Structure 1
Amino acid sequence: MSIPLTSRLQQAITQAATSHDGHYRKGSTKPYVTHVVSVMLIASEYTDDEDILVACLLYDIMEDRPDTYSFDQMAADFGPRVVDLVQGVTKDSTLPDWRARSDAYLAHLRQAGPDVALISLSDKYHNLTSILADYEQLGDVLWERFNAGKADQQWWYTMVLAAAEPQLPDGHPLVACYREQLQKLQGL
């Protein structure tokens, strides 16, 4: 699918770059904005819904950099549907630990619908490909950069697929791509 680079998408890219300025992927020197742009590009292969693509660019701001951009400002800039989509893939930072936040996210994802599932699976698919590429270079040292070790990461990515897949149309091609990467992660 080819998406036009509209002024609204450009505004969302600018907001993502501004909010994630100085923010890097865990344990690397890769600017964080490369992740959300990658997530948007993955999702754009399956939808041309501009609200979904904007949400792909903005969702991690609310988890990682909430002091740089508010839901109120997001609603004013991009509308309430984008805010709803972003909230659909934002972990609850008020919960006490990684597992509690993960369990709550999965419970929500199971009922969130296909648009949120597409954003989530696009995000986690990019994370999976990044983890596997980094593992080739670093080996088991890689797991030290995460709040949860290898077994927990394997559990997490398996459960995301189990929660998201039923929300998407049968035979959705992203599910097959994700499953292939998940099998590689489980084989580590």
Structure 2
Amino acid sequence: MPFTTVDQAINLAAKAHAGQKRKATEVPYISHPYSVGMLLLKAGCSEDIVIAGILHDTIEDTLVTEKDIEEMFGKKVAELVTMASEPDKSLSWEERKQHTIDHLSEASEEACYVICADKLHNLRSMVSDYEKLGESLWSRFKKGRDRQEWYYRSLLASLEKKIPGTPMVKALTVEIEKLF
């Protein structure tokens, strides 16, 4: 039986993120993009959106390019991955995060789902780690609890305007309240 394009995306992401770990853990990084894809699948998103979720960090954190993704999965997937990626990594944390928040007002509904699933999985991981580590969790981040809270609450406010009332936005709200 041939692989589906979702299988191809999982394989590409696994190879691209090989050897990477989740922040300050021993958890293989691929668990994050895979989980993002599964959240999108559970939300009933199209195959292109699920694939974009699986590949959402490849342009930002690996040698995979937007052109590579477009050649393998098409223009729509490449655009969604690009929309979910942070710009220039040489910018400050605040500039990159503000760009993401501001960019949501222009992003398509599909891109908002990818971004929301990414942040939802990040928050769920943070909540789980907070339950084990308590306040020491915040030492993992260049910016502490207050700036993380600002970022996630700002994202939520933007996402509530773009994809209001969706189960994914409701889940994001729950996780933000648990963590902060």
TM-score by length of 1: 0.91
1:184 aligned to 2:178? yes
Residue of structure 1 aligned with 2:116, choices 118, 121, 126: 121
- Give the secondary-structure state (helix, strand or coil) at the position aligned to 2:143: coil
- Which structure 1 residue ranges, 5 or more long, are not aligned? none
Aligned residue in 2 for 1:103? 98
What are the residue-to-residue correspondences of 1:90-169 with 2, within 5 Å?
90-168=85-163
Residue 72 of structure 1 and its aligned partner are, at CA, apart by: 1.1
Query: 1:45 is aligned with what amino acid?
Result: K
Aligned residue in 2 for 1:27? 24
1:46 aligned to 2:40? no
Aligned residue in 2 for 1:13? 10
Paired positions, count: 179
- Give the secondary-structure state (helix, strand or coil) at the position aligned to 1:32: coil
- Give the secondary-structure state (helix, strand or coil) at the position aligned to 1:107: helix
Residue 15 of structure 1 and its aligned partner are, at CA, apart by: 0.3
Residue 95 of structure 1 and its aligned partner are, at CA, apart by: 4.8
8 A contact 2:59–2:85 mirrored in 1: yes
What are the residue-to-residue correspondences of 1:78-93 with 2, within 5 Å?
78-93=73-88
Q: Distance in 2 between matches of 1:101 and 1:148?
A: 13
Residue 147 of structure 1 and its aligned partner are, at CA, apart by: 2.0
Identity of aligned residues (%): 33
- Which structure 2 residue ranges, 5 or more long, are not aligned? none
Superposition RMSD in Å = 1.4
Structure 1's consecutive aligned runs of 4 or more residues displaced over 3 angstroms after TM superposition are none
Residue 48 of structure 1 and its aligned partner are, at CA, apart by: 3.6
